[in-house]
A and B are shown apart, each in its own frame.
Chain A
Amino acid sequence: MDIFGVLNMGSKALMVQQKGIYVTGNNIANVNTPGYSRQRLNMSSDVPLNTGIGPVGSGVTANEIERVYQRFLGVQINNETQSLGQREAHKDALERVEVVFNESGGYGLNHVMSEFWNAWQDLTNNPSGPVERTVLVAKSEMLAATFSKSYEDLQKIQRDIDSSIEVSVEEINRLSENMVDLNQKIIQTELGGHTANDYRDQRDLVLKELSELIDIGSFEDANGGVTVSVGSGQVLVEGTRSYKLSTQPDVSGLQDVTWVDSSGNTVTITNDISKGKLKGWLDARDLDIDRHLNNLDTLAHDLMEAVNTVHASGYGLDGSTLNNFFTGAATAAGIEVNPLIANDTNLIAAANGPDKPGDSSNAIAIANLQEAPMMNGNTTTFGAYYDSMVSDAGFAVQQATSYYDHQSQMVLQVENYRESISGVSIDEETVNLIKYQNAYQAAAKLINTADEMMETILSMI
């Protein structure tokens, strides 16, 4: 309780308020830093001195810089971000698929199929007409080309998805290394008993970025390091060690996601991925696009078979018979007009007997296939089968979009909730700044007073 005590108290107060200004300044500086949690200076009154008149306070002391944070929110954000990543990737891929089935301009497979059947009807009007025959071949080639173009476009999307998957796996490995680095820094920092606030924020951000790509499980060890696992429990990060993910082509040439252990053995985890962008892409690639490819193949196969069966039973202008109209593999990519027919349109079998150039019976039989229920166990026409594929693709986008919209709202909500707890408010920090500044000024005044007191004493000598 002497003058030096006052001086000492003033100097401590100055330092503590200055720390407060420093922390406030750090908050303001990081107002837009992603993942940053605002920090708060915890201070308390210093140990009082016991005197004859009882304990007397000895000023202020700074205890620690605390990070304002709610742990469960971090977990929730990661979970919702995993779903968002999945929905977003799925939606984006399906939107590209829908473009392949774009019929709004009237130039898709629906249109081309109509033209194909109409060309057969034109032939019935003039079964021996060279013009009608040439047009029929041209329209048929167009049909085959449209089939394979649709098929290839879908495969192109699969390949694009594959390269996205490869890039993401690289990204996951980079994030894992990042995480190891941060784990190390946190463990070291916290050995001294203080929380590594900023590193923890950064690590949370890395966890969130990982969550966007793949579903992860994570927990924190006693020493502060985080363990992250993917797939069916494969460890990605364990304290200061990390493992790698990799990709390798499966039997159909599409990329599988694999986990590589320390001795270089790989475990395929493709089917264990249940969320994140990887899941969205895998679903689009292996379920949606695969289904469309199969349906296109079925359509091409059935159409080819039906036309060929009728065509082979008929006779060409040159008396030839048993010719297939379409050849090549019975798939969307393989179907093509019989090259013999393309070279010699006389082979088109419009008649049901030789030497009947005016007979259109067989052409009529083929033209009638358009309205015949040939697909789905003889319940659906070729056209209706394709139309339902278009509807299917549109419906998938509609559904994926509504999932995505819903999920983005969820993430926005949770993020806002996190922001309302951990985010920096400029208004609040401005108030704090003024508060600390005033306290700093007052502490300075205290030192000034102690100085004057000292002078008074000294002048007495």
Chain B
Amino acid sequence: MRVTQNIITSNFISYINQNAENLLKTQQQVASQKRINKSSDDPIGMGQVLGYRTKLAVTGQYQKNIEQAMTRIEFNEVTLDLASNLVDMARGLAAEYSGSTQSAAARQSAALQAKDIYNQIMQIANSKFNGNYIFSGHATDTVPFSHVGDFNAGYNGDDGDFRIMVSDNVEVNLVADGRKVFQDAANGGVNIFDELKNLIDGLEDPDPVAGSAQIEATLDVLQDGRDQINNRRSEYALSLYRLQATDEYMTNLRSKMEEAMATLEQADITKAVVELQNLELAYETTIATAARIIQPSLLDFLR
């Protein structure tokens, strides 16, 4: 083949462009530490990376939901612990006054104590978390329990659960219906408020014998009422346990996904640097050889 200076220069330009382009690509990888800097670097890989990113974002969100729900459960727990203790106190009062040996004055003061307990429990049942009532179902802006008559509590909420999204289409439901905690007579449970009223009535009964009988009758029911509260607490504890387990699982999942994404997306720096060195060498060699080939012509050797 007849070789002219123009063939040499155009080939040289083509090679040097190629080398420079490869060099630039590898430099980009080293600088950004990423193998995939744009979709065309690896279209399938990019699709997978985006899939992981979406998954990571939604998993992060689920963990955020779980974290908030756990705070809510802890708040419920503190609240119901208090309620349970108060019912216990009422039952202690009932046990103490179920014999008719107490004086009228003592029973009067016990009645005051029982009323105080009643009011405290109602206050607890009307607790707010984050500005929302926790025991009024979905009617979180409505006071769950209010006085209908003297020591007669009416429920104003509904039967809605507090729902937490913990995973794709998986929810954990927390009971937010105050009746299921304090007034579950409809389901064969105890209406704690009514029972406390019975106790108060018994203590205030001018006839000590009839009063004592009424007080005695509340003993077992109050016990059941306390159990009712504690049952809810153990349900919450179970949910809490489930949330914690899910949270742990998701933390694991996230680190696995991050690892997989890194393998897919991140550049192998050692490899990239070695490649960069190779490419630099190739680039320099191309330039050096071109410099020697392009320069001379026959003219350099005449005379």
Contact = CB atoms under 8 A, between A and B. Distances in A.
Contact of B46 (A106, A391, A419): A391
Given A358-B137, A416-B10, A111 B53 contact: yes
Interface in A345-361: 351, 353, 355-361
A387 B50 contact: yes
B51 A387 contact: yes
Nearest to B56: A114
B61 A118 contact: yes
Contacts of B168: 368, 371
Interface in B128-152: 130, 132-133, 136-141
A390 B50 contact: yes
Interface stretch (B97-105, B155-163, B186-194, B196-204): B155-163
Chain A interface size band reads 35 or more
Interface string A273-307: 00000000000000000000000000000000000
Contact of A128 (B40, B61, B132): B132
Interface in B36-89: 36-44, 46-47, 50-51, 53-54, 57-58, 60-62, 64-65, 68-69
A383 B54 CA distance: 7
A121 interface: yes
A388 interface: yes
B4 A98 contact: no
A425 interface: yes
B6 interface: yes
B64 A394 contact: no
Residue picked from A99, A104, A397, A408, most chain B C-beta under 10 Å:
A104
Interface stretch (A237-245, A330-338, A426-434, A449-457): A426-434
Contacts of A360: 163
A98 B39 contact: yes
B38 A416 contact: no
B14 A412 contact: yes
Contact of A358 (B54, B61, B139, B165): B139
Contacts of B46: 103, 390-391, 394
B39 A391 contact: yes
A359 B158 CA distance: 10
Given A103-B50, A125-B69, A430-B297, A420 B7 contact: yes
Q: By DSSP majority rule, is chain A's interface helix, strand, loop, or mixed? A: helix
Contact of A31 (B6, B62, B302): B6
B132 A126 contact: yes
Contact of B4 (A99, A355, A359, A424): A424
B298 A430 contact: yes
A392 interface: yes
A367 to B, nearest CB: 6
B163 A361 contact: yes
A129 B141 CA distance: 11
A372 to B, nearest CB: 8
Contacts of B139: 355-358
B10 A415 contact: yes
Contacts of A351: 138
A395 interface: yes
B171 interface: yes
A416 B11 contact: yes
Contacts of A121: 61-62, 64-65, 165
B180 interface: no
A11 interface: no
Contacts of A150: none
Contact of B65 (A124, A128, A425, A426): A124
B1 A357 contact: no
A126 B134 CA distance: 12
Nearest to B51: A387
A390 B39 contact: yes
Nearest to A397: B40
Nearest to B34: A104
Contacts of B162: 358
Contacts of A129: 130
A99 B14 CA distance: 26
A56 interface: no
26 contacts: A31-B5, A101-B39, A102-B38, A103-B39, A104-B37, A104-B38, A110-B50, A118-B58, A121-B62, A353-B138, A358-B137, A358-B140, A358-B162, A368-B165, A384-B51, A387-B54, A393-B39, A394-B43, A397-B39, A415-B10, A420-B2, A423-B7, A426-B4, A426-B297, A430-B299, A434-B302
A-B residue pairs, 10 tightest by C-beta: A394-B39, A358-B140, A397-B40, A356-B138, A394-B43, A359-B138, A391-B47, A114-B57, A395-B43, A423-B4
Interface of B: 1-7, 10-11, 14, 34, 36-44, 46-47, 50-51, 53-54, 57-58, 60-62, 64-65, 68-69, 130, 132-133, 136-141, 158, 160, 162-165, 168-169, 171, 176, 297-299, 302
